[in-house]
Structure 1
Amino acid sequence: MRIGVPKEIKTHEYRVGLTPLSVREYVAAGHSVLIETGAGAGIGADDEVYRAAGGTIAADADEIFATAEMIVKVKEPQPTEWRKLRENQILFTYLHLAADPEQAAGLMESGCTAVAYETVTDAKGGLPLLAPMSEVAGRLSIEAAGAALKRNLGGRGLLLGGVPGVPAARVVVIGGGVVGTHAARMAIGLGAEVSVIDRSLPRLREIDELFAGRVRTRFSTLGAIEEEVLQADVVIGAVLIAGAAAPKLLTRAMLPQMRKGSVIVDVAIDQGGCFEMSHPTTHDDPTFVVDGVIHYCVASMPGAVPLTSSHALNNATLPYGLALAARGVAAIDDDPGLHAGLNVRRGKIVHPAVAEAIGHHVQKIEQAHAAHGRIH
């Protein structure tokens, strides 16, 4: 198969869909890989490094979209990109369609087959292609919060870990999954006082054991969230429902009651955000203030550390990408995990959570088989 890797064009996105190490694996498996010139610049990989790995350099994205059978990216395609997609072409990338009906419509119109990293599952029901970026984002969320707490940036002027004789900051993490766990790890490491809120008692028990009782665990109720948030210096939103829009767990009504200069970091912003007032921001202008509370809502936070992020992402996506390259989307027939990753097929939304989120009728995969034969 002919694989295409365009340069990411979203603002401050420096990651790359395939690293040179991954290109070498695709080539060794008998595939050809076309990389847009400069695509790896953000991770320090120039065109010669990609040529040495067996790739071919394309002068622009047009050539890639016009000739590749599968497009491998990091971020969701932008309007200029989804208009270049075509029927029977596979798109393998993060999509986050639940919060982006315009993109969903664009992908449906293209007729492409879109497989989303964030809804691919493993044998245990986990999200193996979302996990590495969740790890990075969870850790970065505490770095971002620590910076935003500084007085010169509008924060309370509080050091996360405090010093002897001065209390540490209170950090509340809503969601005990991958993002929340790594956020808690970083906050504890810096000496903060940490609470984790989750609706799963088994997960709270795991977190309690993992951190040897160094975090306060709370079962998620409206009252528990409100109580913790109103006493917090930092709130990390780390809630995820695979494929669906994030629930709004921190309301506008709570903000006037929160500490002035406190910081909330919405890591769920790619799925629409889990705080009522959240809207996407960029690394150029990462925060905004509502009722004295600083909101940090940078979409694609891992893009700020592209070297770490690209390699971590490629480590996870490579086996799935090779399977798609070997057999096309027919690989889904034999892999329930890839089956869960299929969001759009032949102009139809086929992922139930995505369809519900954007108010669109879902066409089941079985119906697609009947209408079009075996998926290929």
Structure 2
Amino acid sequence: MGTDAGIVIIGAGEAGARAAAALRENNYAGPVTLIGEERHLPYERPPLSKAAMTGADEPTAATIMSEEQLAAHGIRHLSGVMVTEIDRAGHLALLDDGSRIPYSRLLLATGARPRRLTTPGADAASVLYLRTFSDALAMRAYLKPGIRLVVIGGGFIGLEIAASALDRGCSVTVVEMAPRILGRAVPAEVAALVAEAHKAAGVRLITGIGLKGIEAGCVVLADATRLDCDAIIAGVGAIPETGLAGRAGLTIENGIRVDGRLQTDDPDIFAAGDCCAFPHPVFDGRRLRLEAWRNAQDQGNHAARAMLGETAEFDAIPWFWSDQHGQTLQIAGLPDEGDATVTRDLGGATLHFHLKAGRLVGASAFGPIGNVAREIRLAEMLIARRAQPSPDALADPSVKLKSVLAVVPLAA
């Protein structure tokens, strides 16, 4: 490759910032440039739908690295800057201010953007979306006691916002077109527990019906039901930011297509986080695109090492969490891979194990964090080892999961 022009990271979110730090932690001494479109230091996104909404004081972004830390790591951070093109032949990142930054290797950590509603009237300014800290501030300004809020979408983001809005004294209705909430994310039994928690707290849930249109101060459902409201928030999924990669001629397949090392078609370009689709070796090479905080962290770390020459495949087990109404929803692995389910009483929560041909492929639970977190972590370790535990042992709360794990050999 000749002289090392350095590593350029496009996207200063969780994956990008973690990769920048990991390069230094792995003793890379060349130039590192971290480029972000937002005029903020790199910050955590999970608090946007939670603490940023509910805190008594005006929120500040939960920064991942301070200016001092960036400087100490020798990371050049460009904020409020957009990369418009990648010149693969010239190994250059072209910026919207006309400047060009050379690279030897490049990481795309461009994340995802909220999916927009296409319902008639949905382009109205009253429909809000959450992705950035600025979005969170705008939403917070609406969420005041007595406000009638309609949340469109019963996924993680929509439900977290609903819970936060209720804490702020709003009247909240959630509309989900699918037959139930969290349809693609968790098993029906777990989704039912989450739904009951929302209803018990005072959230109105409407499922199995779509939208006809959005009018001033009103959401109109497909059956002509009118929901009068003061604010509308849409949480209907996310679309990976692949425009830059596509213009550069990289393969797009539900995200930027990468191999097991997170390397794209171009050997000098890698991708990590919400924007990339990768094969997972634990799930027989199933290609995944994960929108999750820890996945972004893990892939940022892995991409850094891969850009420095490590050949190992990325095999971290997917893990998701969501806090709602004082309880936690946690998921390890891929529950939708399972063909059988075994349940365990945790005392205040139920843990669901999802097996495929006898092998543990997923686990999910909703309840008090003290009951759930440790057991999900042990289940995650069993999934990583491709364990085929006894269903009776999984179901019996007197059999400690740690003892089940102890007899499972490490995966090859």
TM-score by length of 2: 0.36
Larger Rg: 2
- Structure with greater proportional strand content: 2
Higher-RCO chain (CA-CA 8 Å, sequence separation at least 6): 1
- Structure with greater proportional helix content: 1
TM-score by length of 1: 0.39
